[in-house]
Structure 1
Amino acid sequence: MKTILLSDGRALKLTFEETRKHFLPMIKKTIKQTNNKFIFNFIDEEDFSQELEIELWRAYEGYDFNYGTCFSTYLHYKLKKGVRNVTYSRYTLKNKNNGILSIDTLVNNKDLKLIDILPTIDYSLSNLESNELVRILLENTPPQDRDALQVILDRETFSVSEYAAKHQISRQAANQRIIKLRKHLQKVISEKYLLTND
């Protein structure tokens, strides 16, 4: 039995089963939100739920009330990891949806694979037009610039500072590279996406 701090400020001594019962709605909501956004095949809810319940168990095991963090906050990040685990495994399979690439597919027959840049990108694009936009971005981003594209698409997960540290350059130099790529991609999007989607 552990002391669990709830978001309403109550601190309760709960067994894992009691904790599971209390936070099962949070797991179900996470599954629904994830599956509602996919343009690819949905993830089986039973399999998805099992993965997230494993993360719930890990959260329960690792949680320490003494740090003053609400359990729901601690669990949130564990569930994000569970979602990542489930979606990664799904995308390593060949996608059979009308022309959508597998993440193991080479882009423009080069060394760059979609999987090389997708781990920090939200896969749950809202529609096929968004998928087309991603395809255009990938095809027009040189392999050496894929990290810069990650920053453009998901700065919260891969920041300019992290990019600069990885490439051992100053933050200013990193910003210049990212701005250069962004301008290039804006032009590409204007010519290859916006003009064809009017």
Structure 2
Amino acid sequence: MKTILLSTGEAKEMNFEEVKKQFEPMLFKHMKVANDKFVFNKVEEEDFMQELQIELWRAYEQYEPSAGNCFTTYLHYKLQKGVRNATFSRYSLKNRNNGLVSMNATRGDDDLKLEDMFASDENTSDHITYNELTAIIRRNVSEAEEDALISLLNKDEFSVNDYAAKHNITRQAANQRIVKLRNKLRSIIAQEYLEIV
């Protein structure tokens, strides 16, 4: 038996089976949200739940009520790790080479290269301009992501550590947010303007 602080403020003595029964809906919610991102290639629910139940067990074992945090807060971060473990294989091929594509690699059937799409003359209006890229970025960055964008574009003036301190999070969490934004913008620019599929 272990003391579990509930979000209602109640402290309750619970064994693992009771915790599992009470918090199973939270596991299903995390699984559903993550699996809904995949149109065709969803993670098998039984495998997914097994990962999340492992993290539930770890949360139960490592939880310290004396820290003053309610169990759901602690469990949330453990479940994020479980989601990452369960879905990693779906992203691993996509993330090979970190999404980088050589400028002189041909794309598609017509031997078009990325370098061919950039202007050699600064005044050429047929190519992507600085203002167009800025407009794309601004249109796709939410207010909550603005600090991450500043850090992404100007690390000397606003480093990852500065971002972490401002938002009162760990450096690792700050870096994850910045990388997430970078990948999001890379994908948007590639799809909308470079037409890379």
> Under a length normalisation based on structure 1, what TM-score does the superposition of the two structures give?
0.54
Larger Rg: 2
Structure 1 residue 30: Cα displacement: 1.0
Q: Which residue does the alignment assign to 1:193?
A: 192
Deviations 1:127-183 (A, max 9, x none): xxxxxxxxxxxxx9xxxxxxxx9xx79959x6856997xx6x3328x99xx9xxx9x
| Compared CA separation, residues 48 and 3, structure 1 to 2 (3 A) | same
Asked if residue 109 in structure 1 is aligned to residue 102 in structure 2, the reply is yes
Residue 95 of structure 2 aligns to which amino acid in structure 1? Answer: I
| Compared CA separation, residues 162 and 193, structure 1 to 2 (3 A) | closer
CA distance in structure 2 between the partners assigned to 1:90 and 1:16 by the alignment: 31
| Compared CA separation, residues 47 and 159, structure 1 to 2 (3 A) | farther
* Structure 1 gap segments, 5+ residues each: 95-101, 111-139, 141-148
Counterparts of 1:118-137 in structure 2 under 5 Å? none
Aligned to 1:24, what secondary structure does the other structure show?
Answer: helix
Counterparts of 1:6-155 in structure 2 under 5 Å? 6-39=6-39, 41-92=41-92, 94=93, 102-104=94-96, 107-109=100-102, 155=145
Q: Which residue does the alignment assign to 1:170?
A: 157
CA distance in structure 2 between the partners assigned to 1:88 and 1:163 by the alignment: 28
Q: Which residue does the alignment assign to 2:115?
A: none
Residue 44 of structure 1 aligns to which amino acid in structure 2? Answer: E
Deviations 1:16-71 (A, max 9, x none): 11111111111011111111222451011100000011110110111111111110
Count how many residue pairs are aligned between Structure 1 and Structure 2: 135
CA distance in structure 2 between the partners assigned to 1:65 and 1:162 by the alignment: 37
CA distance in structure 2 between the partners assigned to 1:56 and 1:103 by the alignment: 28
* Structure 2 gap segments, 5+ residues each: 104-127, 129-136, 164-177
Q: Which residue does the alignment assign to 1:133?
A: none
Aligned to 1:59, what secondary structure does the other structure show?
Answer: helix
Identity, % of aligned positions: 48
| Compared CA separation, residues 3 and 192, structure 1 to 2 (3 A) | closer
CA distance in structure 1 between the partners assigned to 2:153 and 2:60 by the alignment: 34
